[in-house]
Amino acid sequence: MSYRRTYDERPRPARRVPVWVVLILLLAVLLILSNGITFYTDYLWYRSVGFSNVFLISLTTRLGVFFGAAIPFVMIFLGNMLLARYLSTRQPLYRGQTRALDAPIWGWLIGIGALFLGVLVGLAAAPRWLDFQRFFHQVPFGVADPLFGLDVAFFVFSLPVYQFLQGWLITVLLLTLLGVGLLYFVAQLPHLRDGTASILPHVRLHISALGAALFVAIAWGHNLAAYDLVYSPRGVAFGASYTDVHVELVALRVMFWIALLIALMLLANVYLRRLWWPIIGAAAWMIIALFTLTILPGIVQRYVVEPSELALEAPYIAHNIASTRQAYGLDRIEERNFERIAPLTAELLSEHQATLQNVRLWDYRPLSETYRQIQEIRPYYRFKDLDVDRYYINGDYRQVIIAARELDQSRLQSPTWVNQHLQFTHGYGVVMNPVNEVLPEGLPPLWIRDLPPIITVPITLTRPEIYFGELTDNYVFVNTGIEEFDYPRGEENVYTTYQEESGILLDSYFKRLAWSLRLADINVLLSNYITPQSRLLINRQIHERVKLVAPFLRYDADPYIVIWNGRLYWIHDAYTVTDRYPYSEPVSEEINYIRNSVKVVTDAYNGTMTFYIVDDDPLVRTYAAIFPGLFTPGETMPEGLRAHLRYPEGLFNVQAAMYRTYHMGDVNVFYNKEDLWNIPRELFAEREQLVEPYYVTLQLPGGMREEFMLILPYTPANKDNLIAWIAGRCDDPYYGRLVVYRFPKQELIFGPRQIEARIDQVPEISAQLTLWGQRGSRVIRGNLLVIPLGYSLLYVEPLYLQAEQGQIPELKRVIVASGDRIVMSETLERALVELVGKGPSIAERSPVEAGTQFVESGGEEETLKQQVYELARQADAHYSAAQSALQRSDWARYGEEMAAVERLIKQLVTLTQPPLTPTSTPTP
């Protein structure tokens, strides 16, 4: 009898996809979308600034290193794991036993685990992309290290890559050993339950082979560790010491051969298959390493080296001195002797008029408060920093202080998306004053001031807008459907439209969508003000902007603004650094070599960046080979910009700090620190602090003309008298050179603290300071400047007075000193006349004590013309300031300025009034 099989005709329900699968797919899509948007928008920005090749080289190298580390890892790890599983499945079973590794899930776990670990290894390796680029494009230093005789480039470029590869290999073998061991353990689980477990021959063979490879990698590590001895901190000086060379270096070479011997033992064990050989070998290696690399060096250092340290360490101290001087450029310093200390005379003052007219009476700290009060104009403007520079004014080389008036969007009174991103887009103009001039009320005369800029000197500024600066940390859109705020004018505002084609053109909906997602700002997509002609200006903060293009450079903390060719430019000092220079004393954990190799010039209007090479060191040449087109030869820098290059203060501070010790070239003197120098201390605003380097304009002893330079005095350790001073020269053809003048040791040269103490002991000065303090005013003592004039020294300290309820410090007195004389007066010029007893033939720039420049007297008529000109110039300045105050409804300020105008006009009338002559009466 047959039966027909029947089936249910109802449709089967569709199989549901597990929730975890859906979540994984969504996560993958989100990651791809997020990374894709980041890649696309980054590429648009790099292309807009002209450095798309930097972005592409960085990206492709990162990917190359990622896959170069991940793929070999997966191949080695996965191959060994599959081999271990295959060998384990050949193990015989007894009745009732099953193979744990036969389950299909183990194949999935091994594959997924290998891929996951491979991704982790690749991600860990990718940040090292620059090491590989430097390795393949390295440029020799031309200097050999004193221990191994290898070029310094080996330690800077090659050794980090070798150490990375050795570490990668150790990681691969260790993870593989752990994985393989886990599989063999799982394979033995059925035998562990019934007591039949054993280590089979194929397990011993596999483990021994991997162990041998691991010890070959360890031997390579011992070989590389020998080169790291040039960075040893053990001895009296940085670098390989006596113990490092005679004990640890020998121990590392012994450990190298021991590790290779253990590797051979393990390879032999592939055939001998002894269980205890790997264990004995590993234990022996650990014990020998502990004794030879830790215990023995400590014993030798304590009981052999320390009792005879100078004799044994002398050659290694010499290596440290030479290498440190090379690494920081101290070997380039020109050392000169200050042959004698000549008394300061009127004739000497006449010879150094250019220096005296550039003596910096305005300290940047009180002056910044003055700028804030009188020139910020509106609450949303801010001066981030004040910088010292120099310009030719009517043929005279004049030192000035200049500051950029930037827009600080955090100060907007009612911030909205429109005014933050479309309207208030840029700062406007700069403020400039000469460093040595003072108005009658104790304020600086401003050569460039107000909005729009009023310029009283022959400097042209046709593009004063600042779209890129130190405070521009927000993205903005230009060429939109709404005009941008330009600057305030009285009760109204002036508006403008961006005039250049920089930035990212938003000419498609897709670009707007991408940037809307990248910025997490839906308004980018929805705003009707943004048109196909609109441009996005992003990454406008100049510190971050240059770091995005060249993150491998270190940047000075103080970029400064320059006026050239009618435009504003930021000049940023960039350094090439490394911590891999052999035997060089580190100044920090990351730096034991530094060069100011690059000057970055950024246009404040369109953000264009140019990276000029000004010091052709091996590191910057290597980077230039890695990134073609990134750098521009320094010789092509326009002369107008080159005239404003400064010796960077950051580099100068590092070099000055290192030179305190490393001016000592004699090993015995260095070991005993017999001639250690210090940076002197001074009083500022009644607080003691280290003297900061300061820019001056002076003529070096024996020099032909005045130069702009950065100088700093030195004192002996634990003493306050001067011992030397160091100068970084800024003007061509001597730009970038350091010179040190040593004072004669047989003479006492007062240091800043000693001068400060002597000032406090002058009764007239002390009484005046006390009187001001009793009246509720705050006395601010400015920087004490030590200014060399030929072979004489002039000390200058300005005094500022700030009313108890006032916020504007006013320069009220100038203290000068030379030799054993100290004088305080209302102006620098009068103080100098009193200091030398009689002055050279001079005519004050202002008969109302506003000037400080010495000029040659050309007779009474010439003097009268100069006085009339100065009074008229000041009256004009006060009148302009009054008009500015009137525009911003500052009636108190307006009254003060007009009163000053009236006072100056009266002085003009008095000065130009002809003398009365007696009338002759005829005799009757």
DSSP for 606-671, written as a single string: T--EEEEE-S--HHHHHHHHHSTTSEEEGGGS-HHHHTT----HHHHHHHHHHHHHHT--SHHHHH
Residue count of the chain: 924
Q: Are 94 and 149 in contact (CB under 8 A)?
A: no
Nearest to 752 by CA among 800, 694, 699, 703: 694
Instruction: Please state whether the peptide bond connecting residue 315 to the residue before it is cis, i.e. omega within 30 degrees of 0.
Output: no
Q: What is the pLDDT of residue 857?
A: 34
Question: How would DSSP label each residue in 511-552?
Answer: HHHHHHHHHT-THHHH-TT--TT-EEE---BHHHHHHHH-TT
Confidence of residue 714 (pLDDT cuts 50, 70, 90): very high
Nearest-angstrom CA–CA distance, 612 and 621: 12
The DSSP bridge partners found for residue 430 are 404
Tell me the mean pLDDT in the region 268-278.
71
Nearest-angstrom CA–CA distance, 894 and 891: 5
DSSP state of 101: G
Long-range contact set of residues 894-903: C-beta below 8 Å, sequence gap at least 24: 896/441, 900/439, 900/440, 900/441, 900/874, 900/875, 901/875, 903/440
Q: Which residue has the tokens 């920093």?
A: 385
7 vs 195, residue with greater confidence? 195
Tell me the mean pLDDT in the region 294-306.
92
CA atoms within 13 A on the CB side of 733: 1
Q: What is the pLDDT of residue 105?
A: 79
Q: What is the pLDDT of residue 117?
A: 95
How many Å separate Cα 189 from the centre of its chain?
60
Question: What average pLDDT does the chain have?
Answer: 87
Nearest-angstrom CA–CA distance, 827 and 850: 7
Tell me the mean pLDDT in the region 555-571.
96
Q: Are 801 and 773 in contact (CB under 8 A)?
A: no
> Quick one: tokens of 491?
């009760």
Confidence of residue 28 (pLDDT cuts 50, 70, 90): confident
**pLDDT at residue 840 greater than cutoff 50:** no
Q: Are 508 and 531 in contact (CB under 8 A)?
A: no
Angle at 428 between CA 424 and CA 434, to 5 degrees: 155
Q: What is the pLDDT of residue 780?
A: 87
Nearest-angstrom CA–CA distance, 838 and 885: 42
Sign of CA dihedral 40, 45, 48, 50: negative
DSSP state of 26: H
**pLDDT at residue 914 greater than cutoff 80:** no
> Quick one: tokens of 630?
């990134």
Q: What is the pLDDT of residue 849?
A: 36
Q: What is the pLDDT of residue 886?
A: 60
Residue 607 gets the label, from left (phi > 0), alpha (psi -120 to 50) or beta, of left
Provide the percentage of residues in the chain whose pLDDT is more than 70.
Answer: 87
pLDDT tens per residue across span 351-371: 888 899 999 999 988 999 999
Nearest to 755 by CA among 765, 740, 770: 765
Nearest-angstrom CA–CA distance, 440 and 428: 28
Q: Are 193 and 97 in contact (CB under 8 A)?
A: no
Confidence of residue 850 (pLDDT cuts 50, 70, 90): very low
Nearest-angstrom CA–CA distance, 891 and 893: 5
Nearest-angstrom CA–CA distance, 694 and 688: 17
Phi, psi values for residue 818, rounded to 5°? -160, 135
Q: Are 575 and 554 in contact (CB under 8 A)?
A: yes
pLDDT tens per residue across span 787-812: 999 889 999 999 998 877 767 889 99
Phi, psi values for residue 114, rounded to 5°? -65, -45
Confidence of residue 682 (pLDDT cuts 50, 70, 90): confident
What is each CA distance from 180 to 86, 128, 268, 363, 520, in whole angstroms? 11, 29, 20, 70, 47
Burial of 868 (0-12, 13-18, 19+ CB in 10 A): middle
**pLDDT at residue 95 greater than cutoff 70:** no
H-only helix segments in 383-443: 417-418
**pLDDT at residue 887 greater than cutoff 80:** no
864 vs 442, residue with greater confidence? 442
**pLDDT at residue 211 greater than cutoff 60:** yes
Angle, helices 104-125 vs 52-89, to 10°: value is: 150
pLDDT tens per residue across span 733-770: 999 999 999 998 888 899 999 998 899 888 888 888 88
**pLDDT at residue 864 greater than cutoff 70:** no
Tell me the mean pLDDT in the region 316-341.
93
**pLDDT at residue 3 greater than cutoff 60:** no
Tell me the mean pLDDT in the region 211-235.
95
Q: What is the pLDDT of residue 14?
A: 56
Tell me the mean pLDDT in the region 211-217.
93
Map residue 691 onto helix, strand or coil. Answer: coil
Nearest-angstrom CA–CA distance, 530 and 506: 8
Give every strand in the sheet of 476-478, ordered side by side. Answer: 476-478, 535-537, 504-505
Q: What is the pLDDT of residue 63?
A: 95
830 vs 575, residue with greater confidence? 575
Angle at 702 between CA 701 and CA 706, to 5 degrees: 70
Q: What is the pLDDT of residue 96?
A: 46
15 vs 859, residue with greater confidence? 15
Nearest to 680 by CA among 790, 765, 786: 786
Counting DSSP H helices and E strands in the chain, the numbers are: 29, 33
